[in-house]
């Protein structure tokens, strides 16, 4: 007897990725450890570094993305990359055959984040990493005083 699996149906939530057209958005990436907030924001999965890769419209948001995360490996005695994609990012993977070819080429040597970034840049991906934080005044109460008082 064949096992049966439940069919899950998700209600349309109206996210940016619904009915997305990846052909109109530039391919890009963001490198977690190089962001201004990266050192203070641990990666949920316990990874030591991460690249988010996807299609990022100029006006913001994404039409689809996935991640490559690096984990410490005692077995290999080095950081080992792992491709991570939720089901809403699978189409994005399919729309990037040149990236899959790059990963197949360099994957056996456990590439570092920098080596993957170099490959992404060579393929024409945009670096969207936010390296500088928002400009905020640490002492607004001092600097916003009325000069006449």
* pLDDT above 70: percentage of residues in the chain: 75
Q: What is the pLDDT of residues 62-85, one digit of tens each?
A: 889 999 999 998 888 889 999 999
Tell whether the model's pLDDT for residue 114 goes beyond 60: yes
> Hey, how many other C-beta atoms are within 10 angstroms of the C-beta on 74?
6
For the segment 119-126, the average pLDDT, to the nearest whole number, is 97
Tell whether the model's pLDDT for residue 105 goes beyond 70: yes
Tell whether the model's pLDDT for residue 141 goes beyond 80: no
CA distance 18 to 100: 23
Q: Which residue has the higher pLDDT, 144 or 54?
A: 54
3-state secondary structure of 144: coil
CB 102 within 8 A of CB 119: yes
Residue 3 is predicted with a pLDDT of 42
Residue 82 is predicted with a pLDDT of 95
For the segment 97-108, the average pLDDT, to the nearest whole number, is 94
With 0-12 / 13-18 / 19 or more C-beta atoms within 10 angstroms meaning exposed / middle / buried, residue 65 is buried
Tell whether the model's pLDDT for residue 102 goes beyond 50: yes
**What is the sign, positive or negative, of the torsion defined by CA atoms of 122, 127, 131, 135?**
positive
Mean pLDDT comparison of 105-109, 117-121, 141-145, highest-scoring range:
117-121
Q: 118 φ, ψ to 5°?
A: -60, -40
pLDDT band of residue 144 (cuts 50, 70, 90) is low
Helices (H), 6-149: 90-94, 97-106, 113-122, 140-143
Tell whether the model's pLDDT for residue 16 goes beyond 80: no
3-state secondary structure of 86: coil
* pLDDT above 90: percentage of residues in the chain: 52
């Amino acid at each position: 007897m064949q096992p049966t699996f439940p069919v899950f149906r998700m209600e349309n939530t109206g996210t940016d990725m619904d009915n997305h057209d990846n052909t109109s958005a530039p391919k890009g990436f963001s490198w977690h450890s190089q962001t201004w907030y990266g050192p203070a924001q641990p990666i949920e999965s316990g990874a030591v570094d991460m690249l988010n890769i996807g299609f990022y419209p100029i006006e913001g948001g994404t039409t689809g993305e996935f991640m490559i995360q690096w984990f410490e490996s005692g077995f290999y005695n080095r950081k080992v990359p792992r491709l991570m994609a939720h089901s809403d990012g699978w189409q994005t993977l399919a729309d990037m055959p040149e990236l899959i070819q790059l990963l197949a080429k360099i994957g056996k040597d456990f590439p570092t984040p920098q080596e993957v970034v170099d490959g992404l840049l060579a393929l024409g991906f945009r670096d969207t990493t936010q390296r500088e934080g928002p400009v905020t005044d640490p002492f607004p109460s001092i600097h916003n005083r009325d000069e006449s008082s």
